[in-house]
Amino acid sequence: MKILFVCLGNICRSPLAEGIFKHLSKNEQIKADSCGTGNWHAGNLPDRRMSETAKKHNIKLKSRARQVKSSDFYKFDLIIAMDRENKNHLMNLATSDKYKQKIKLMRDFENIYSNSNSNLDVPDPYYGGPDGFEHVFTLVYKCIKNLISYLEEKN
């Protein structure tokens, strides 16, 4: 199985999700990657503030930013968008219903067993302060833990 995490520029939320997933997942059969809907940061390492936040939790972010490609819909089994804007962008890029069914929101996995999400977006911490990065870490960490549990139950 291959999972793709998607945010806007691929320097904050999606590389964090990829890093947390790789850190927590014990299943070597599941591969994770990340990308952005835009290409502004292509080739760059994750945002320094996001990397520092992850490092405080013993997680190293190693990916380089890239933009989503149409071939990603074929390559990946599950595509997880960080917010509704990212999801809408992906839905517009998807060329078939089969590909659209692969797209989920990160916070779909926040309360996976209760279906009580009040806010479906993982906020973008880029223009905020350190508290925003820590808040995003906490949200994404919880979602990734639930995603891994969901995948283990499914298999």
Q: Which residues are known to be catalytic? A: 7, 13, 124
Identify whether the C-beta of residue 74 lies closer than 8 Å to the C-beta of residue 83.
no
Which amino acid, 94? A
What angle, rounded to 10 degrees, do the helices at 48-56 and 13-24 form?
A: 30
Instruction: Give the Cβ contact number of residue 115 at 10 Å.
Output: 7
Q: What are phi and psi of 17, to 5 degrees?
A: -60, -45
DSSP for 9-78, written as a single string: SSSSHHHHHHHHHHHH---TT-EEEEEESS-TTTTPPPPHHHHHHHHHTT--------B--TTHHHH-SE
